[in-house]
Chains A and B, each alone.
Chain A
Amino acid sequence: MPVIERIIKPKTHKGKQAILKREPKIIENAKQTFFIKGLKTTEVLQSCMKNLYILKKPYGQILQRRNDIRPFEDPTPLENFGRKFNASLFVLINNNKKRPNNLIIGRLFEHTIMDIVEFGVEDYKCLTNFKLEKISSDIKPMLVFQGELFESNHEYRRIKNLLIDMFQRETVKQIRLQGLEHVLSFTANDNCILFRSYKVLLKKSGTRVPRIELAEIGPRMNLRIRRTKLATDDLFKQACKKPKELKVKKKKNISEDNLGKTLGRVHVGTQKLNTIQTRKMKGLRKTLTERKSERKRKQVITEEDNAKKIKVNTDENNI
């Protein structure tokens, strides 16, 4: 609801701005993420969470306290956090005997839970374990998804969508070519997603396009998929709606030829060949008889009209 349509108006300008900031927008800002700890965690999980936070940095927020949240049973606390921080992505870690090293990634739509996916973290290797020069921070990563499962399996397809949402950062119109430094690769391999992060080295190749070499910078982990709670197709479709204002209308009848010239096609109505004024010539003139016959025809028409009128009159009289 826009500010003007509130019953109680905000009193200060600052308050109004704060409310406006939370209003739905046509073009949305980059999604915010909050990172939360469950009741019990492990060192591996905490380091994992911190590493993910580093990858997300200006769009994330780590919460310090532990919370007893079980998103698959009761997601309301998560929804409340989402409303509070105006964030629509979350990462939750918890550890228990049945499911050790749980990393739960999810997203909200309109402050209600849409997707939740639970991963088990295996073979974790921290950022600091890789003794390499790291990349500069706040860089839009290139995302690579490998494996046929990402196309054939519905669940994996949705998880791919979630991971892209999580790691793509903001959408940009331009990108610095030197800034293509970071690659996140996700490989679907028998019920496991292999998460790898590489640094890109641009090498000379003798052509315009550089040759690529990769060096792993971490974090590295294998994410085993556990429980999932995915949105229905209906809800997902609703969430993916595009605003009408942003749709570009196709311009009709404009084309471009091979030389780069724009061509326009103009539609002209049908020509009235009967009344068109052609060249005046003696030969095209109507002859006397023609003119006479035309005059007669006209007369007949008017007489008929008159007769009709008279008929109407007589009818009226009879009545």
Chain B
Amino acid sequence: MDIVNQILDNENNKNDCIQQLINVEKEIDVDIDEGTLLVSDYNTLNLKAPSKLEPNLEALTRDNVQLLINKIWTLPIKCVEEVILAELPKPKYVLPRSRKLPKPKSLTKWQQFAKDKGIRTKKKGRSKLKWDDLLQKWIPTYGFRNVEAEKQKEWLVECHDDGKPIQDPFVALKASKNEKKAKNELQRLRNLAKARKVKIPKVGFPSSEHFKDSKQLSMGAKIAEVSTASMGQFNEVLKKNVKKTKGKKVTKKKKSGQLKELGTKNKKKPKAGKGNRDFRKKVGGRKRRQ
């Protein structure tokens, strides 16, 4: 019986040893980040003699790795094609990025407008392909292979039969397309400038940006007036300068509610009214001879 007991004891001792190896205890709890598979052990080191450095290091590392493995084995597990996968949480340890965060794309003028007005241009499920009756097939409305299809469609353009020599329609078409392209490019550049906050000169009528002061503006107008060879002697008089002879307009304020009624009462009116007519009082009409 002693032998049996001895063997059993040995078994128990072994199990205890293994349990000790698995359940490692530390003075300060180690930081474990399962997301990055990281263990940071901030306990003070006691790596003694240099001769025993390597085994000591290995033992220390083993303990820490055991702790990490213990943590990982508690994570939810998935089985995919006979491979056991542990689902890791998001890493807690913060690492710097390699590039800055991308800035949000600035809206173009049209996009801004559409957003303000709530216009939606894109619809779900709108196909690029459209059925063409002439060609009897599906052709793309724009982009790849659109030009090809258009060429097939418009290989011949009818000329008007009124005897006048007219421009080559194909040339006109090309010119108009080039113009559209140029306009589009200009708009793109303008949007770019807007996005980067670059000031670009405005085209067209002078605005308040060109003349900051009303005096400046009138001065500019006067200078323009006399800037001819004859110093403006033969200039037509501008319509603006002709003075209006009409009287000033008087703005009327609308009266609301009771005030309106009051106004009418105050106005001159035959005093004789309905109901409170005083016969002794002579009101209105021609003066009677006496």
Contacts and interface: CB of A to CB of B under 8 A. Distances in A.
Q: Do A and B come from one complex?
A: yes
Interface of A: 2, 4-5, 7, 23-26, 28, 31, 88, 107-110, 114, 140-148, 150-151, 160-161, 164-165, 168, 171-178, 180, 183, 185, 187-189, 194, 196, 198, 200, 202, 205-214, 216, 236, 238-241, 243, 309, 312-313, 316-317
Contacts of A236: 96
Contacts of B94: 240
Given A211-B22, A317-B262, A142 B60 contact: no
B169 interface: no
B25 to A, nearest CB: 15
A160 B21 CA distance: 27
Contacts of B105: 2, 4-5
A243 B101 contact: yes
B57 A141 contact: no
Interface stretch (B35-43, B132-140, B153-161, B273-281): B35-43
A209 B22 contact: yes
A198 B61 contact: yes
A214 B84 contact: no
Given A150-B40, A240-B97, A209 B195 contact: no
A144 B258 contact: no
Contacts of A31: 98
B102 interface: yes
Nearest to B68: A142
B83 interface: yes
Interface of B is mostly: mixed
Given A24-B101, A176-B84, A183-B61, A148 B44 contact: yes
Nearest to B106: A5
B84 A178 contact: yes
Contacts of B69: 180, 202, 209-210, 212
Q: Report, nearest first, the 8 A-B pairs whose CB atoms are least far apart.
A: A88-B98, A239-B96, A24-B99, A185-B61, A151-B42, A174-B85, A142-B37, A145-B40
Please tell me the size bucket of the interface on B: 35 or more
A110 B100 CA distance: 6
A187 B63 CA distance: 14
Nearest to A143: B38
Nearest to A210: B69
Contacts, number: 189
Interface of B: 15, 18, 21-22, 35-45, 47, 54, 57-58, 60-62, 64-66, 68-70, 72-73, 77-78, 83-88, 91, 93-102, 105-106, 189, 192, 195-196, 258-259, 262
B45 A187 contact: yes
Nearest to A9: B188
A173 B57 CA distance: 30
A31 B97 CA distance: 9
Contacts of B57: 185, 187, 194, 196
B51 to A, nearest CB: 14
A81 to B, nearest CB: 14
B100 A164 contact: no
Contacts of B100: 24, 110, 238
Contacts of A148: 42-45
B61 A205 contact: no
Nearest to A171: B91
8 contacts: A24-B100, A142-B65, A143-B36, A146-B60, A175-B88, A176-B86, A214-B65, A313-B262
Nearest to B71: A209
A247 to B, nearest CB: 11
Contacts of B42: 147-148, 150-151
A175 B88 CA distance: 7
Contact of B35 (A5, A151, A171, A239): A171
Contact of B258 (A185, A187, A205, A313): A313
Contacts of A317: 262
A176 B83 contact: yes
A229 to B, nearest CB: 15
Contacts of A160: 40
Contacts of A24: 99-102
B14 to A, nearest CB: 9
Max chain B Cβ within 10 angstroms of own Cβ: one of A140, A143, A236: A143
Contacts of A180: 37, 69, 72
A109 B96 contact: yes
Contact of B101 (A26, A145, A146): A26
Given A176-B83, A209-B70, A5 B192 contact: yes
Contacts of B195: 5
A161 B12 CA distance: 43
Given A206-B15, A210-B69, A214-B62, 14 more contacts: A2-B105, A25-B99, A88-B99, A144-B38, A145-B39, A168-B95, A174-B78, A175-B72, A175-B85, A194-B57, A198-B65, A209-B69, A216-B58, A240-B96
Given A198-B58, A206-B18, A212-B69, A239 B97 contact: yes
A180 to B, nearest CB: 7
Contacts of A7: 189, 192
